[in-house]
Chains A and B, each alone.
Chain A
């Protein structure tokens, strides 16, 4: 038995340490790449690309004493507060109704309620403009009846309402996840102790949701502070600015960009968001900012809420109708008609001219292709890189891997618009990289950097569930770290990588805020082209691009769900 000569032992695998260091350093550099030039520029007197570099605090002084900045901070604070409170309340209420009551049609409604997650906030803003803007379909219809404007979407309140509809699904998902994980017997215990269903709901179910609600509040608060598109589309016409639109105004629109002011505002915003992230981190362990694939919910006994359930259905339907069906239906319809107005039958102006325009104009067509390339290839490269980063962080013996885990999650604190500014400046500063500046590689790198924490949060739950004994066994069998990762862990992570790739595809396809500064002629993406067309007042082609984005994403989700039986989100 086993008498054959012993085989030579495994070769010394000196590649392990360089591989781990390489992945770690690449991540650190990618994350510092956009942040460093912003911090530097904020204390420079002249634009960063000029040879004279004088240090100064004048940028901060100028910003902090400007009344425009004060008004902006106030707007952002009000918007953040209103959006947070209302979106968390609405999302949590909807989650309780769908997950815990005997309301009819809960399954269908649950899916519809989270559908805004698949829509870029930019598309949502255009969709609301189409229906509820000053020249929107519904607005005009009501105006003809009542003789006056029912509301003004181009206001801080309008921005808040659309933001609430955009963020409510996030609060819904957190609450639903918490409800599906919580032990239903605690509710049974309350019932047996004599509590009515309503009382149980109020005294047991809702208090148990408090951690999820606090978490959602921080998530929505951070999101609404850095959100660019909704305030940009709805606030610009009436001059309502938030911190993120102020950055665009100072840096892109208008004549000469004020580099110092942009950097100072960006730095202040970074500090505030970092503070909120630290608060969030304290609150719940890292890595959960982005809600990802959840396990199947176990269905506990629903509460019988009697006739109230019809009111509940009405509420859910109203939310879905106003928040999803009408705006999306409107923008899809807008893309195939000459003009959309209650005063004329839209079917009479049916046309494909907007589609022809978009697909026959090279730069428009190119922006769709660029978006698909960045989402497909960039997303694929991105998820692999993020998985390698997670492997180094969780499964290597790199001495600074804890620090690396912390660094990898930091981009959460960097608003997209700041990522874009920082990348642009770094490309300008670092001459050898200048050639990449106007290509989609620059955009892909920026998107990957921005969503490292997202990819991390998709991979790490699966990774931490894989027993360490599996890689240890490979090591004892004579394989080095790199081999064990390549031959054992990555193949086991395969399904998570595919899911992650699809989620990154959707995310990258929607992403535009980090592209606003960074894109150039030749590297347009759907979002930047929509913004450019909107500035020209051309809502027809904007609707076409929005429709293309929505249709591609819905197709991907449908293929995943029905073709591969993978449910993304909820």
Chain B
């Protein structure tokens, strides 16, 4: 198994810079997700690793071997990279049986016939498709097709597995099952995997680490917990889960506690390890599900009024007006309508520096 190193990768399409100096190190055996909205450069990055896109700048190494070095004009074609890839559409060849689809990578490597047969059977077993070898792709369900695509990518033991939104064509229920199954398989095989997705729940559930991308850059790299609980900027906080952003000024900062005066005059005290100077313009990012009813508390309490209420079955969703600001709240219990008070735990909010306008 191998590690992947990406250094200063740049890919431009005419005026547009799709990938803008991306650097990344993927550990051996790790599953790393590239997460971001469409057009953020995640797929282009993956295609550059696969050799299906030719980067304009930068280097990519796998297990110490240079796959691409734009500066040295080194470019290994995809067939020489020893990678496995699962495509978004699965890209199963419609004119070949499942067994022939899976055997393809072994045939191009001129494996002996007996070995091809055994390995195809073994891998079909691995993806729980025993006995399906003689079928054609169109005779399979979406979930089965997705597993054939995976078998085809794993059969020749690639050093790295690339996955391009492999679950996006499955319906919601199946997608959740496939997510668990895929994670188990990856951990069992201990294969290094790079996973592209725009679905934050998928990335959070599957990954060892997540690289959140926006406009061709990596905006935050960290474990799912880091990303969710300590987003580094408003984009990440908003893209991963939901958040309300309350603008304000730093009043004082001491011993990991920062006191912020919100624009509407109310004050909050937030836990933060970073150093903040007094008067700094900040955004307080608050996850809707972390806001609680005040219930007699006096510290970190915001006063306002419920503006709207959506009933979602298991939960309630509110928009809570505090002066000119609004706070989104998601709660298991129903809040009383009209005027009210809510509590924002100091450790539940994240302080973000506001870009000076």
Contacts and interface: CB of A to CB of B under 8 A. Distances in A.
Interface of A: 1-2, 4, 6-10, 12-13, 16, 467, 469-470, 472-481, 483, 487-488, 491-492, 494
Interface in B72-98: 77-85, 87-89, 91, 93-95
Nearest to B87: A469
Interface stretch (B105-113, B268-276, B317-325): B105-113
A478 to B, nearest CB: 4
B332 interface: no
A488 B93 contact: yes
Nearest to B94: A492
Contacts of A491: 95
Interface residues of B, number: 39
A9 B95 contact: no
A2 B78 contact: no
Contact of B108 (A2, A6, A10, A470): A10
A7 to B, nearest CB: 4
Contacts of A492: 93-95
Contacts of B162: 476
7 contacts: A13-B79, A472-B91, A473-B93, A474-B104, A476-B153, A476-B162, A483-B108
A7 B106 contact: yes
B78 A472 contact: yes
B108 A473 contact: no
A477 B154 contact: no
A239 B88 CA distance: 66
A454 B191 CA distance: 49
Contacts of A16: 77
Contacts of A479: 79, 104, 108
- Which of A467, A470, A473 has the largest count of B CB atoms less than 10 A from its CB? A473
Contact of B189 (A2, A10, A475): A2
Contact of B105 (A2, A477, A481): A477
B89 A469 contact: yes
A476 B104 contact: no
Interface in B105-157: 105-106, 108-111, 115, 119, 122-123, 126, 152-154, 156-157
B79 A469 contact: no
A531 to B, nearest CB: 45
Given A1-B122, A1-B189, A476-B84, A7 B78 contact: no
A480 B153 CA distance: 16
Contact of B52 (A475, A477, A478, A480): A475
A473 B95 CA distance: 14
B188 interface: yes
B157 A469 contact: no
B85 A478 contact: no
Contacts of B153: 476-477
Contacts of A7: 106, 109-111, 156-157
Contacts of B85: 472-473, 476
B50 interface: yes
Contacts of B106: 7
A487 B78 CA distance: 17
Given A9-B109, A473-B152, A483-B108, 6 more contacts: A6-B156, A8-B110, A473-B91, A474-B93, A476-B50, A492-B94
